[in-house]
Structure formats: C-alpha cells, structure tokens
Amino acid sequence: MRTLTLTAPGALHLGDEAAPGEPPAGMVRVRVHRVGVCGTDLHAFAGRQPFFSYPRVLGHELGVEVLEPGAGVTALRPGDRCCIQPYLHCGSCSACRRGATNCCTTLRTLGVHTDGGMRDEVLMPAALLHRSDSLDYDQLAFVEMLAIGAHAVRRAGITPGERALVIGAGPIGLGTASAARLAGAEVRLMDISDHRLAFAAQIGFADALDGRGDVAAQLRRWAGDEPPTVVFDATGNAASMTRALGYPAHAGRLVFVGLVQADISVHDPEFHRRELTLLASRNATAADFATVLRALEQGAIDVRPWTSVVASPVEAIGHFARWTNPAAGVIKALIAFA
C-alpha cells in the first residue's frame, strides 16, 4: 500500500502503509483513484498552512471507489464511484446541531488535522461519501473544491441579476464564480496573472478585471454607478482582502473565501458608512456537495479544461515544488493512485 506523506515542509515521501482492515459499522473502505492538489496542500508543502503539523498525509479532494461497506451501510455498494466530504465533525456541538457541520467546534479535515487521502485506500464514514452514477473519478476529485465556492455563494444569498466580483482566478475563485453565475449573478473575475485571466476567458468569464491596473476605473466601466453588490475574495492574501473592503456597493456584502495567517484591517467609518456585511465562508456542507454534483451531472459546469496535469504518486514527488510556482501556469493538478 502506497502513501504520500509530507514529513516536513518541502519533503514529500512515498512510503508503504498497512492496508485498512474490515470496516467498522457505519464505515466504508474505499480505493482512492484521484486526488486533487489544492492551495491547502501547496501551502502545507511550503510551511505556510495554519492548523497544520508534520508528518501528515495530504489529500482531501478525492475521487474514490467503494470497496467494502461496513455493517449497517445499505446505500453504498462495491464499485460505486464517490467523492468525499472530508470534514470530520462531531454532530453534537452547537454548530453541528444548527446544521453548520462545516465549522464544527472540533472539526478535523482530512489532510490537515488528520491524515488524508494521498494513499491507495482509506476508511471513511458512509455519511461523508457522495455517490454519482455518471461522473468519472477526475470529475469527482473536483467536487470538494467546487463545493467551497457553492457554500460561499449560498452564504452570500445571491439573487438573480446581482453583480458579483470574484477576486482571485485560481481554482477556488473559478469555482466561486461558476457557482455565482449558476445563481443568476452577472459575474466578473479579477486577477493579476495573465495566465489565469486568459484561462478565465477560455471557460466563459470574458472581460475579467486586471488587478494590476486601475481597479476603480475598471469597475466603473463595467458597472457604472452601480458597483457589485457582492464581492468574493478568494486570494488568501491580506492586502487583497483589505482592498476588497472598498469594492462592494453601499449595503453590499463581502465574503472572504480565502484564508490567510494575518490580521485584516477595517477602516470603520467607511465600513459603517456603507453598512457593509462581512462574511467568512469555511468549507462546505452536504447540501453544497449535492448542489455541485447536480451541476456537474447536468453539464452546467465542465471542469475537464481545468486539469493541467495528471501525475502518478512517484511523479508527484518530483513535480510538487513546481506546482507551487505560479509561473508554472498550473490550474489544477491531479494525482492518479489507480
């Protein structure tokens, strides 16, 4: 059994692991076919990931095959293709009781707080597996990432016809923009990377804003005297998140989708004058996973152009450092375990 373990920042090691045993009641043994590499993994590799300790098996964006359901699991059968909701929640804290399992007070995320899915097989609670009869493993590995954006859009409460600005055209920003467009918003993306701006146009987000230019002037050209009522910042960059406070319309909303190890400054008179609503968006819920699965199955979102590279576990060791470099132009990397 193979496992990719991050033993220290910048040190990814392919080793052996004992095969998981017979699943306990309510659990399912799955074979990992695809693992999406995301910003969380790249930040952990670089030593910049909050809530993280080493050594750690990375991987939480998973396309898996059911091998063996445990006792009491009747909704899943061997051979079923699934994605995984990688947030292990308690089910009993105040947040969980209110349905906010995405921010359980004792939440453990695969690949962050506990070992993740960069290995051949994993034991998972059946309730965290989401089956699809039509999606392949590559597509299923995108579901968790897209669910992050779907949750942020649901948090924002978008109504059809609103203007929405999404800052950051990486995978999370692209997913957020896709979800906002499906919710009926008129969407613009903004980034500082020519490659990402070009890719955004390729998948249907033309007229993106260049964050290196005069953003205020670009917003006026787009929206005139009606600025976006919803702004999402998916950069995880403190300076960008601070500047984003100046973009929403009066009585608008700003949603921080990205996470940064820094303080964000708010100029209260301006914040108060415009009566802005500031929201954090963390992870996703089962409802968000269902929304994304439905969109993918119906063809409303096509993630196939997003995949820049599919690598084996051995190849991933040699390429991981390159994937952290924005100049490499990688939109999404997948690791194929089977």
Determine, yes or no, domain membership for 289: no
pLDDT at 51: 74
Number of folded domains that form the chain: 2
Domain co-membership, 175 together with 88: no
CATH number at residue 30: 3.90.180.10
Tens digit of each residue's pLDDT (9 = 90 or more) over 26-54: 999 999 999 999 988 988 998 887 778 89
- For residue 191, is it within any domain? yes
* Same domain for 56 and 187: no
Structural domain including 45 reads 2-142+303-336
Write down the pLDDT at residue 96: 96
Q: Tens of pLDDT along 252-306?
A: 999 999 988 889 999 999 999 999 999 999 999 999 999 999 999 999 999 999 9
Q: What is the pLDDT at residue 327? A: 78
State the pLDDT at residue 187: 97
> What is the block-wise mean pLDDT of the chain (338 residues), using blocks of 10 residues?
93 88 94 94 85 91 97 97 97 96 95 95 97 98 98 97 97 97 97 94 93 95 94 96 96 95 92 97 97 98 94 93 84 94
pTM: 0.95
In this structure, the answer to whether residues 102 and 158 fall within a common structural domain is: no
Whether residue 182 sits in one domain with residue 98:
no
Whether residue 296 lies inside any domain: the answer is no
Residue 9 domain-assigned (yes or no): yes
What pLDDT, on the 0 to 100 scale, is given for residue 20?
78
Residues 101 and 132 in one domain: yes
SS (H, E, C) the chain: CEEEEEEECCEEEEEECCCCCCCCCCEEEEEEEEEEECHHHHHHHHCCCCCCCCCEECCCEEEEEEEEECCCCCCCCCCCEEEECCEECCCCCHHHHCCCHHHCCCCEEECCCECCCCECEEEEEHHHEEECCCCCHHHHCCHHHHHHHHHHHHHHCCCCCCEEEEECCCHHHHHHHHHHHHCCCEEEEEECCHHHHHHHHHCCCCCCEECCCCHHHHHHHHHCCCCCCEEEECCCCHHHHHHHCCCCCCCCEEEECCCCCCCCCCCHHHHHHCCCEEEECCCCCHHHHHHHHHHHHCCCCCCHHHEEEEECHHHHHHHHHHHCCHHHCCCEEEEECC
Residues 50 and 156 reside in one and the same domain: no
